[in-house]
Amino acid sequence: MLNIEQTILSQYANSPSLCTIIDGQNQALDPTALIDQWYALVWNVQTAQGYGLDVWGRIVGVSRVLTISSETYLGFAEANDLTEEGFNTAPWYSGVNATTNFALSDEGYRQLIYAKALANITDCSILALNLIAMTLFAGQGDVWVQDNGGMTMTYVFDFVPTDVQISIIQNSGVLPRPAGVGVSYSIKSAS
């Protein structure tokens, strides 16, 4: 602690033995480094790691473990998601997904936490939804929200998301939508 002398009662301040013991305890138990480390690894979401990010995930309500659907299908039940393929490229959709659980890395989880925190406070305007999508997929390509009219909207991706990103889009629930609005996902063709 800083200024340990100020915490010693005046009747004990002139005891060299007691002051030496207190000074030794202060040097051995100085919490300054521990507090700085705790702030960097837990409290500051920009630098948090491991357990600290898990705490932030619980605060905003998102899990580090996502279910990854790594198979694509030819079928109709999943027509509004990002797993459909054309003829002669994928098996028929049978209604049962082959899934695995995947724990996100710290950087991926940090982006998911930011996006969920933004989703928790959004007004679901097109501007806010675009900000969330651009934050989540920064540096990977263009992504935007398209108002289709008729109480529907589409998240449009100008890049091909990875299996992990597809699971973030479809399974994590961080991409919000206004109440009563149907949402679909589309990958813009590269041609």
Positions of E strands within 150-188: 152-157, 182-187
Give the residue among 27, 21, 39 at the shortest CA–CA distance from 1: 27
Q: In terms of pLDDT, which residue wins out, 145 or 77?
A: 145
Give CA separation, 116 vs 122, 170, 175, in Å: 10, 13, 8
- For tokens 């005046």, the residue is 10
Report yes or no: 41 and 47 within 8 Å, Cβ to Cβ.
yes
For residue 9, pLDDT over 80 is answered with no
Tell me the per-residue pLDDT of 89-142, one tens digit each, with 9 for 90 and over.
555 666 665 556 788 889 888 888 988 898 889 898 989 999 888 888 888 889
Residue 68 three-state SS? strand
Give the position of tokens 């049962």.
96
Maximum pairwise Cα distance, the chain: 90
Give the number of other Cβ atoms within 10 Å of residue 127's Cβ. Answer: 9
Most confident of 19-28, 52-61, 64-73, 107-116: 52-61
CB 177 within 8 A of CB 124: yes
* Residue 159 CB partners (closer than 8 Å, separation 6+): 137, 140, 141, 142, 143, 187
pTM of the model: 0.65
Give dist(CA 189, CA 34) in Å, integer.
Answer: 51
**Domain chopping of the chain, boundaries:** 12-43, 61-187
- Give the C-alpha separation, 152 to 143, whole Å: 17
